[in-house]
Amino acid sequence: MTETAAPTKLKLYDRLKLATKNRWAEPILAALCFLEAMILPIFPEIMLAPMIIADRLRAWRLAAICTVSSVAGGLAGYAIGYFLFDSIGRGIIDFYGAGAGFDALRQSFNDNGPLMILIGAVSPIPYKVITITSGVAGLDIWTFVIYGLIGRGIRYFLPCGLFFFFGPVAGQFIEKNKKWATIGMIVLAIAGFAMAPLLFPKSHGPATETAVEQMNAVDEVVPNELIPGAPAEQ
């Protein structure tokens, strides 16, 4: 009788790479970008990068999907701030640590709304804080959309362009250094929460303390059922 080795659970990067072959990959990516702009504490790039490496010819389409979906999610965040701040928005703001300094943050949007949107759209700072505060401040909706498109466009088209031109090299590097690639994803998540005090320096929220744990949310978004050929978990 021969013994068969128990299937090894795939690492995060391997799960994401395999998931790119599923027909639901792009809708899931769009949903991640939408939810990230209004509430979800995770970065869509952790799914976007493996998708481009797997097929770099769709880099520009994926960048467009991310940009449009993120701006649409931003409009949902704007609506939360404008219509539902007391019932929903305040809890989200508190979670991301902006509660104590929110009045000053709102004043910054009144004074420099376009600049604040660009900073939030391009940087790893939690974008949902930007979108909700824009709604609370009553920022002009077209200003919000236009600068959101510019900022989110830079955020997604620039890395997608880099992966388009250097995808094969990046893919080879990541395949040889999967551990460091995973660490890089975690560092990216932590960086956003670490940069948040630039907007609200006198406060911090639960999101800062649990940034690393949020990476586990990817496993919920990319279950084994969506991964062709992945071993079933025991």
Q: What is the pLDDT of residues 104-151, one digit of tens each?
A: 888 888 888 899 899 889 887 788 889 999 999 999 999 999 999 999
| Cβ contact 156:63 at 8 Å | yes
DSSP 8-class letter at 230: P
- Dmax (CA) of the chain: 75
Q: Which of 166, 163, 105, 184 is nearest to 139 (CA)?
A: 105
As a whole number of angstroms, the distance between CA 44 and CA 49 comes to 9
187 vs 51 pLDDT, higher one: 51
What angle is formed at CA 157 by the lines to CA 41 and CA 61, rounded to 5 degrees? Answer: 95
- Three-state DSSP at 40 gives coil
Each residue of 162-186: b (16+ CB within 10 Å) or e? ebbeebeebbeebeeeeeebbebbe
pLDDT tens per residue, range 43-87: 788 788 788 877 888 889 999 999 999 999 999 999 999 999 999
| Cβ contact 132:89 at 8 Å | yes
Q: What mean pLDDT do residues 158-167 have? A: 81
| Cβ contact 151:123 at 8 Å | no
Among the listed ranges 11-20, 90-99, 123-132, which one has the minimum average pLDDT value?
11-20
User: Identity (one letter) of the amino acid at 68?
Assistant: V
Beta-strand runs (E) in 174-225: none
